[in-house]
């Protein structure tokens, strides 16, 4: 283990977190992490169960005198978002994360860190291992594939869990308790194109929008950060009219739940218009930087000459995709009336790419109001259907409705105030926590979510604040000691 991480407090938690950074576990490729926690549970002599899809449940009996407390389920997800800088050589299915201490934070070298949700998983493992703790009956639920579909939560069967209270360890602001979250839905767009021979007299360039911050498509959607795909297509819309460009390929964004940081397109332009296009790109970069001066200081927009491809998109498909993406809603759609400052409804235009005769677009819609989410989906469908594309929806999941009379909420508020002299903030989150889905399967669960301070999740800038991890752990330990009675 890195000596600096090994020396952080609480050592038992950081030990497990570091072990997780050494196990490749991108979404849908987390079997090694499943095997790791299964071995961990069995080595401790604890009841360890793996369900049909790969979720792991480990049970630990109450400490003497605590048998009359409600059973607590500590829940986190094993997978992580695989994002890296374009100049970083890293295979998320094979390579460990290069985690290191950077001042007050732990971060990674050019990739996502996996503190989302590795810190939560490590905390649950520490509770299972530490026999000095005082607690009632404990279950640890480690789910799979949370980031790209919540597959584990969706497929958890009724009757497996025995606990009364679910503590989701997947929030990212210390001192805040989350009692509700947004639901979500994927919009998948598919537009066919025909290949036409590259026109004579055209020069080709690769347009590259890079250097944006990206981030979590729920929690960071209100930050006003740039969307590389929207910016690129804004330029394509302009140049299509001005220079009669021809599109040959598109590749923007990477994951449905990450604000796109980079976007690329290969385009042709009449040779005598090439210098004008280059000047237009410089002008648009100035415009973009002025509009996003505070949130995207490192934005770049380059034009690089490339060899002419053999073919380009047919004119009808080019017309459709430029208008569809340019016109597609993106960002915050509506703020919440119930909780000031909280986003109610949003959408992230996350991915666009061309492959084998089709152009694909992916959006992730979020809302705490199911009808608003559905209406937003129909709006996106309307835009792309007018462009001639097929639109389908998948992976819809419900939000989590707050319960302000929650027993665990009351206990946690009292414990926090007794130990740190202030009342924690009670919030809902504009992100897809698994609580909404798990609550549908186990409707009687009393649920809450909390965690340490994590910044820039789902991006290579992801980092976790060291002192908040220690505070998060101490808070968890005290809450377990004061769990509600049955």
Spatial neighbors of 283 by CB under 8 A, at least 6 apart, are: none
* Ordered DSSP codes for 349-373: EEEEEEETTEEEEEEEEEESSHHHH
220 is annotated as an active-site residue: no
The candidate with the shortest Cα–Cα distance to 36, out of 95, 119, 133, 121, is: 121
Q: Residue written as tokens 């909280």?
A: 342
Strands (E), 272-422: 300-306, 311-313, 331-335, 343-355, 358-367, 390-397
Q: Residue written as tokens 């025995």?
A: 162
Q: Point out the catalytic residue in the list 30, 145, 146, 262.
A: 146
Q: What is the largest CA-CA distance in the chain?
A: 84
Compute the distance between CA of residue 193 and CA of residue 250 in angstroms, rounded to an integer. Answer: 12
Per DSSP, the three-state class of 100 is strand
Instruction: Report the DSSP pairing between strands 138-143 and 72-77.
Output: parallel
79 is annotated as an active-site residue: yes
Q: For the purposes of burial, counting CB atoms within 10 Å of the CB of 272, is it exposed (0-12), middle (13-18) or buried (19 or more)?
A: exposed
Compute the distance between CA of residue 379 and CA of residue 359 in angstroms, rounded to an integer. Answer: 19
Compute the distance between CA of residue 284 and CA of residue 300 in angstroms, rounded to an integer. Answer: 10
Check residue 312 and report its DSSP letter: E
Per DSSP, the three-state class of 58 is strand
Q: Point out the catalytic residue in the list 79, 129, 139, 344.
A: 79
The candidate with the shortest Cα–Cα distance to 99, out of 83, 110, 87, is: 110
Hey, which residues are catalytic here? 79, 146
């Amino acid at each position: 283990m890195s000596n600096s991480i090994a020396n952080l407090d609480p050592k038992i938690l950081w030990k497990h977190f570091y072990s997780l950074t050494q196990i490749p576990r991108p979404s849908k490729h987390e079997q090694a992490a499943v095997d790791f926690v299964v071995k961990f549970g069995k080595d401790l002599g604890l009841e360890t169960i793996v369900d049909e899809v790969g979720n792991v449940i480990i049970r630990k009996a109450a400490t003497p005198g605590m048998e009359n407390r409600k059973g607590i389920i500590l829940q986190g997800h094993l997978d992580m978002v695989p994002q890296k800088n374009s100049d970083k050589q890293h295979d998320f299915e094979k390579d460990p994360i290069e985690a290191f201490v950077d001042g007050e934070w732990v971060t990674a070298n050019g990739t996502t860190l996996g503190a989302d949700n590795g810190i939560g998983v490590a905390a649950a493992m520490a509770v299972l291992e530490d026999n000095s703790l005082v607690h009632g009956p404990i279950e640890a639920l480690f789910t799979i594939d949370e980031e790209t579909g919540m597959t584990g939560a969706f497929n958890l069967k009724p009757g497996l869990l025995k606990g009364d209270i679910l503590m989701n360890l997947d929030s990212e602001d210390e001192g805040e308790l989350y009692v509700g979250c947004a639901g979500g839905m994927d919009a998948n767009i598919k537009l066919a194109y025909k290949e036409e021979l590259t026109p004579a007299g055209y020069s080709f360039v690769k347009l590259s929008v890079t250097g944006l911050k990206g981030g979590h498509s729920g929690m960071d959607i209100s930050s006003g950060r740039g969307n590389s795909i929207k910016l690129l297509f804004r330029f394509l819309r302009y140049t299509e009219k001005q220079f009669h460009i021809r599109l040959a390929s598109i590749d923007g964004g990477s994951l449905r739940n990450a604000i796109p940081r980079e976007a690329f397109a290969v385009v042709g332009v009449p040779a005598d218009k090439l210098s004008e296009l280059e000047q237009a790109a410089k002008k648009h970069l100035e415009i973009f930087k002025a509009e996003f001066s505070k949130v995207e200081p490192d934005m770049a927009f380059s034009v690089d000459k490339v060899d002419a491809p053999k073919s380009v998109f047919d004119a009808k498909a080019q017309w459709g995709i430029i208008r569809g993406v340019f016109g597609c809603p993106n960002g915050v759609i509506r703020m919440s009336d119930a909780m000031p400052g909280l986003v109610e409804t949003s959408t992230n235009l996350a991915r666009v790419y061309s492959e084998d005769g089709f152009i694909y677009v992916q959006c992730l819609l979020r809302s705490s109001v199911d009808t608003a989410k559905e209406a937003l989906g129909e709006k996106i469908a309307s835009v792309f259907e007018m462009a001639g594309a097929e639109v389908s929806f998948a992976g819809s999941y419900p939000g989590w409705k707050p319960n302000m009379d929650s027993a665990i909420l009351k206990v946690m508020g009292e414990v926090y105030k007794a130990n740190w002299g202030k009342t924690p903030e009670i919030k809902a989150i504009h992100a897809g926590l698994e609580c909404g889905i798990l609550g549908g399967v186990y409707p009687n669960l009393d649920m809450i979510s909390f965690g340490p301070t994590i910044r820039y999740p789902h991006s290579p800038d992801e980092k976790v604040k060291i002192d908040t991890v220690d505070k998060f752990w101490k808070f968890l330990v005290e809450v377990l000691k004061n769990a509600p009675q049955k």
